[in-house]
Amino acid sequence: MSKNDPRKALGKGLHSLLPQRVAAPPAVTPIPLPPTEGNVALVDIYAISPNPNQPRREFDPLAMMELTQSIERDGIIQPIIVRSIGANEYQIIAGERRWRAAKTAGLTKVPVLARTADDQKVLELAIVENIQREDLNPIELAQAFHRMTVELGLSHDEIGEKTGKDRATITNIIRLLQLPEDLQQLVSARKVSPGHARALLKIQDAQTQREMAERCIREGWSVRQAEEYTRPAKGSTSSPLPNPKQLQADLDPNVKAAIGEIERKLGTRVRITEKGRDKGQIEIEYYSAEDLDRIYNLIVTD
């Protein structure tokens, strides 16, 4: 038998005729990368916390149930917007309803979109997102607009530019905060509409406001009926309320510019009414005792 006779290999066993196999490495579960600016990534749902300054305070149970069922069926379609607040810790900028519903649905990871934002930017984004989605009740919306004036130093015109609402609408909504707290709760619960509430504001006495609100609810008054109820009677010595929009339209352009500067400084609505040659009055709105104290300090502090 020659030296190169292949039959010699038979004595070494079948394994010598078969190709060597290399054992496959154990499967490794990839570690998800943390989200980066502008990119969507999956994040542990318990690494995310809500924004304590979220303008929304109430979450409708029925709407939340419907959203939970939608997420159970289709998952989260729109990522939650977050910012990093530590190692593998994130705070919601926009999308708290989706985050809450995802937790109820049993999701362990959710898609997020990371943004770099300071506290003021977070507040602005959260407010604008809720306003655009029309998720806030009228009082939450009033509080959100008021916070934009106080905490962001924005005038009503600037708020309008950011939210797509006109100045008069913003001013009228913020005025709802002049109502007593119990009447604000009725507006929050949508038992009293913002139109009815604005009619109530024409009444100075809080108890009379409450009695009228009860009649509006009990008797199903329309907004027009509420406005007629608060309109001064014929022959009354009290003069009809002036139209603020017309008063402002008649002002000198320099006076309008001055009003804008004062509103920007004080973070609230300001009106100037002329009362003859070189005379007039300045009216400054406030919406709580804390707000009055804030404006007072701004005025008297050098």
Nearest to 215 by CA among 237, 200, 233, 204: 200
Q: Is 88 left (phi over 0), alpha (psi -120 to 50) or beta?
A: left
Q: Say if residues 92 and 49 touch (Cβ distance below 8 Å).
A: yes
Contact 132, 103 (CB under 8 A): no
Q: How far apart are CA 288 and CA 177, in angstroms?
A: 8
Is residue 72 part of the annotated active site? The answer reads: no
One-letter amino acid at 256 equals K
Q: Cα separation of 95 and 130, whole Å?
A: 9
**Given 58, 66, 89, 96, the catalytic residue:** 96
Give the span between the Cα atoms of 143 and 57, in whole angstroms: 11
Helix axes 156-163, 138-150, angle to 10 degrees: 120
Residues that are catalytic: 96
